[in-house]
Chain A
């Protein structure tokens, strides 16, 4: 066996490994995929109910957790199967049913304050993640139905249980102008 030929082969492969490794290392540092862009794209697929059923304090934090690889894509009951599918397609993963541990998918509802029972304690105002409740201390509160995402986060702070989740008022689907 020709020892020099073996050495030449080893040398060539080592040199190739060094050069390619160097390029890959450089690419990994200089052309890093922007984690914020990924978070944005994940966030865009989430339903923005801000309900925190995923155990993160809003859709954006959940999107960040998915991007970090910390949370799975099956934690969003309001988005349901459609959201999981969209996330799976974006992240190239297998779609799976929503984990029932985090809640069940149901038709969207909105909060309605029983204005006769509301005592004006203002505890629900900071709880609403989208500022959909109007009111002031000792004055009656009300929910702006068009802004309510149905997250149910206002139910727990209410000391008199005067908030109910109801079917949203029917809005007629619009139509193109002929």
Chain B
């Protein structure tokens, strides 16, 4: 399979000059129940409850992972709060600053555990994919185990031009990644592990050394399907996912979190975030507890360097605008780009599509964005399905090359949301129809039973005169 994508100028050198900085825990933490996977966890604490470091505060459900308190203190409230993926319900905790652990740190004897027990351990610790999607790691590993994958693929590609939190992690904590990989191999039953790193990160490659496959630095290689194709040569079907071709992808930072779990018994309570852009004085990678507001991250990086700054979660291509710096860190937040107009020029006004086909040449999913665009504008559900909207990975390559400055990815995202809602409605309608039919059938049966009972009663009453009435 031909690898398609963009070769972009990186902006990674400045944050990588220093080491990963710890962000001091703030006085108040805001833990979004939806950590980025699109579903909300179920709170198990109430306002006023005392929590300690590592206390469970919300139980996992569906695509949401369990949440643990990253500090000790008191639950202030459970309320709507701005979060990276829009406002949502959040658990707000007042930090008492004492950092008392719920249970003392103790290593887990993971080598004595079987795969199932390991998956349970990972699920309980609330570990989520730290590459950005925040999908529950245990669920993904369990599905991979069931599919019998042979390859664990650790994703250190990190193709976005501004994000470098995984690069920093690989440079500084390579042994953690290897330990996490060993645990995940045991949990999935895979035989082999490949750590995939792009060839523009020689320091990281040197640090990780073992089992490394160097890849061309090409955006968006960090997406799962292109990564699997680049490493194994096996193409993931557009409606399928990597375990179908025997591989499961995990982010390197997820592996490091798993390592911390088995070494200290610590659940997922912090992550590394790249804070970068010309809007901040000292761009750096910081380690912040989940729930720390972005403002505290900026303070740890020397404060704002400009006044008119856009806050973008994720990179310049796939990122989303944040509501402001009160938004808290979630498990899915890998980068805060504090962009000035110089970093990301505002888009030129959109002009009509000239059907040049540049977007189709660059699309890593092999789609025809120009055709999808036509279908999205027309609200043509059948067309969107025919041209493979479902296979779009929202990487933003088509936007980047479009000479007409059409915000294609945003259109596709919106179309996907609309199609999803329509699908939900269709499903509801089908269910309502089935219930209505059952209701009608029951009414008819009841009427029939009543009629028969009436007839029987009449026959009994007029037994002497069977034909009477």
Residues on A lying within 8 angstroms of B by beta carbon are 43, 46-50, 58-60, 126, 128-132, 147, 149, 172-178
Contacts and interface: CB of A to CB of B under 8 A. Distances in A.
B420 A174 contact: yes
* Residue among B39, B424, B435, B440 facing the most chain A CB atoms (10 A cut-off): B435
B313 interface: no
A178 B435 contact: no
Interface of B: 34, 37-40, 63, 88, 129, 131-133, 135, 224, 241, 390, 416-417, 420-421, 424-425, 428-433, 435-440, 443
Contacts of B432: 48-50, 130, 147, 149
A147 B433 CA distance: 11
Contact of B88 (A48, A126, A172): A172
10 contacts: A47-B429, A58-B436, A129-B436, A130-B432, A130-B436, A131-B439, A174-B38, A176-B416, A177-B63, A178-B132
Contacts of A175: 37-38, 63
A119 to B, nearest CB: 23
* List of 7 A-B pairs having minimum Cβ-Cβ separation, nearest first: A178-B133, A175-B38, A48-B429, A130-B435, A48-B432, A48-B433, A50-B436
Contacts of A149: 428, 432
Contacts of A130: 432, 435-436, 439
B435 A131 contact: yes
B433 A178 contact: no
A173 B436 contact: no
Nearest to B86: A172
B431 A172 contact: no
A149 B432 CA distance: 7
Contacts of B443: 126
Contacts of B431: 147
A168 B9 CA distance: 47
Contacts of A173: 38, 417, 420-421, 424
A20 to B, nearest CB: 37
Contacts of A178: 129, 131-133, 135, 224
Contacts of B241: 177
B37 A147 contact: no
Contacts of B39: 172, 174
Nearest to A126: B443
Given A130-B435, A178-B132, A58 B40 contact: no
A130 B442 CA distance: 11
Nearest to A47: B429
B132 A129 contact: no
A177 to B, nearest CB: 6
B40 A172 contact: yes
Contacts of A132: 435
B135 A43 contact: no
A167 to B, nearest CB: 15
* Residue among B132, B224, B440 facing the most chain A CB atoms (10 A cut-off): B440
Given A43-B433, A174-B63, A177-B63, 14 more contacts: A58-B440, A60-B436, A129-B435, A130-B439, A131-B439, A149-B428, A172-B38, A172-B39, A173-B420, A175-B37, A175-B63, A176-B390, A178-B129, A178-B131
B38 A59 contact: no
A172 B32 CA distance: 14
A77 to B, nearest CB: 15
* Residue among B37, B38, B40 facing the most chain A CB atoms (10 A cut-off): B38
A178 B136 CA distance: 11
A172 to B, nearest CB: 6
* Residue among B63, B432, B439 facing the most chain A CB atoms (10 A cut-off): B432
A126 B421 CA distance: 30
Contacts of B224: 178
Nearest to A45: B429
Contacts of A126: 443
A54 to B, nearest CB: 14
Nearest to B249: A178
Contacts of B390: 176
Contacts of B88: 172
A143 to B, nearest CB: 13
Contact of A177 (B135, B421, B433): B135
A130 B133 CA distance: 37
Nearest to B38: A175
* Residue among A149, A176, A178 facing the most chain B CB atoms (10 A cut-off): A178
A147 B435 contact: yes
Contacts of A174: 38-39, 63, 420
Contacts of A46: 429
